[in-house]
Amino acid sequence: MKRERQKNLLFELADLLEKNHIVFWLEFGTLLGAVRDKNFIDNDWKDIDLGLDYKDYWKVKNLLEKNGWKFKHIWLRELAVYKREEELPLHIDLFFVEKDRKNMYRYLYRPDPKRNGEWVKEWRCVSPLEYHFPLKKINFLGRKFNIPNQREKYLELHYGNWKEPREGYTTYENSPDRDNDYDIINRITAIVPVFLRKQCLFNLITSIRKFYPKLKIIVGYQGDFGEKIKDDLVEIISLPFDCGLSYSRNELVKKVDTEYTLLLDDDFVFIEETILEKLLDVFAYEKDIGIVGGRLKDKSYEKFFIFAGEILSSIYFEELREKGFLEYRKINNLNFGFADIIYNFFIAKTKVLKKYKWDNRHLIWSEHLDFFLNLKLNSKVKVAFVPEVIVEHKPLLDSKFKKFRNRMFYDLIYKKFGYKIGHTIGENAVLNYEKNRREKL
């Protein structure tokens, strides 16, 4: 009965994928059973493993949603899906692979002790591309399926002695092709604009290394930094003195070659709640999500813009949620929300930051509003936030820095977008963009 259910579920999904011209192949335990046992493995009846190209991730995800499939779990490079509640725990694992000229990379997940043992810790296996492509066919359960080109070499690379059945075998503990140097944090580069406050930067880097020893950091210092940092993963870029936050961030983004960019201010400090992986999880919810942020400790800020003639108003996400107008979304067990503007503590798709730049004329303060307003008015990029991902704000102010800090450039908002007044619902003051000052109501 179990094998019959497996077969029916596999055929049902195969019909859907083939009808929509999506290439897939048997992977991992399902491939092993097809080659060695000519059937599903006896003790592997809870799941079915298929491989697909990552370029088809969003097409497949949308296709599954439209055709009544449900998600047991959603990861950035894997989907665990099922069709009927009564068949659980039986499900299908879809592994979305990446390729370069030599290798194929298959991403999997295992328990993460930092996140209460949830199956969210990403790791990967690496194998020669020639072992997989071009795909070949195998007759499995009376139907033709794609399998890797050199199936025996692939199975030996992944399982070792694959011809002998082994009870209790776990891929993430035993697979010989596991990439021990890989960490999902390799997908992120942190950028930090710094002006005068070196001690803040040192405090930030120290806190990052406590939780993320392998995170790459690029620092844009406005002036001559004048000393070296003993950290091979920190790069210091010298920028013109007082060139401003916008210019600094744009120059730093030019240096980023990873898929994601983490934006930080120099006076942030990482704490136990600064779990970057949770921000990454949200990108798998919807294709148009381009930015996912967190919060500052004990502070919420996320807002929606309200446009009314020459007035740019806004309202806090939490006020709407507390009144029952909004609810958090969920991906797996993680709460998140959408907003128009969030803190300058976020992970963004690097391609988004390269396309939608900060306006270099904004040296400070208004650069934040200008950036998110431009995204809202001129893009389809969605902005999300995770309230439980928190960074601490520990500014160190001195008289020299304060002189540069207390400048406003909101008149550029008026000249660029035509809004004269900015106001947040619930506050008793407005920002007079035209006159560059705050006024009480």
Q: Give domain status of residue 44, yes or no.
A: yes
Q: Give domain status of residue 227, yes or no.
A: yes
- On the 0-12 / 13-18 / 19+ scale of CB atoms within 10 A, 288 is exposed
What pLDDT score does 399 carry?
Answer: 67
Phi, psi of 341 (to 5 degrees): -145, 135
What's the rounded mean pLDDT across residues 67-81?
A: 97
Q: Tell whether 167 and 190 lie within a shared domain.
A: no
Q: Tell whether 196 and 307 lie within a shared domain.
A: yes
CATH code of 32's domain: 3.30.460.40
**Res 114 pLDDT > 90:** no
Distances (CA, A) of 169 to 113, 161, 162, 164, 172: 21, 12, 11, 12, 9
The proportion of the chain whose per-residue pLDDT surpasses 90, expressed as a percent, equals 79
Q: Give domain status of residue 364, yes or no.
A: yes
Q: Tell whether 143 and 206 lie within a shared domain.
A: no
Instruction: State how far the Cα of 275 lies from the Cα of 294, in Å rounded to an integer.
Output: 9
Domain range for 421? 184-440
Each residue of 315-341: pLDDT tens digit?
Answer: 999 999 999 999 999 999 999 999 999
Mapped onto helix, strand or coil, the DSSP state of residue 296 is strand
How would residue 227 be classed by pLDDT, with cut points 50, 70 and 90?
Answer: confident
Q: Tell whether 192 and 165 lie within a shared domain.
A: no
The residues, ordered by sequence, that sit 6+ positions from 80 with a Cβ below 8 Å of its Cβ are 47, 71, 72, 73, 74, 91, 92, 93, 94
Q: Give domain status of residue 396, yes or no.
A: yes
Q: Tell whether 413 and 292 lie within a shared domain.
A: yes
CATH code of 300's domain: 3.90.550.10
Q: Tell whether 199 and 166 lie within a shared domain.
A: no
What's the rounded mean pLDDT across residues 119-126?
A: 93
Q: Give domain status of residue 342, yes or no.
A: yes
Q: Give domain status of residue 169, yes or no.
A: yes
Q: Tell whether 155 and 214 lie within a shared domain.
A: no
Least confident of 95-99, 112-116, 394-398: 394-398
Across the chain, what does the average pLDDT equal?
93
What's the rounded mean pLDDT across residues 152-174?
A: 84
**Res 251 pLDDT > 70:** yes
Q: Tell whether 103 and 189 lie within a shared domain.
A: no
What's the rounded mean pLDDT across residues 215-219?
A: 98
What pLDDT score does 226 carry?
Answer: 82
Bridge-based pairing of strands 136-140 and 143-147 is: antiparallel
Q: Give domain status of residue 179, yes or no.
A: no
**Which residue among 120, 141, 174 closes a domain?**
174
Q: Tell whether 191 and 327 lie within a shared domain.
A: yes
The pTM score is: 0.94
Each residue of 264-308: pLDDT tens digit?
Answer: 999 999 999 999 999 999 999 999 999 999 999 988 999 999 999
Each residue of 4-38: pLDDT tens digit?
Answer: 999 999 999 999 999 999 999 999 999 999 999 99
Number of domains the chain is built from: 2
Q: Tell whether 160 and 270 lie within a shared domain.
A: no
What's the rounded mean pLDDT across residues 224-243?
A: 91
**Which residue among 174, 198, 221 closes a domain?**
174
What's the rounded mean pLDDT across residues 205-226?
A: 94
**Which residue among 174, 203, 226 closes a domain?**
174
Q: Tell whether 143 and 220 lie within a shared domain.
A: no
Q: Give domain status of residue 315, yes or no.
A: yes
Q: Tell whether 245 and 125 lie within a shared domain.
A: no
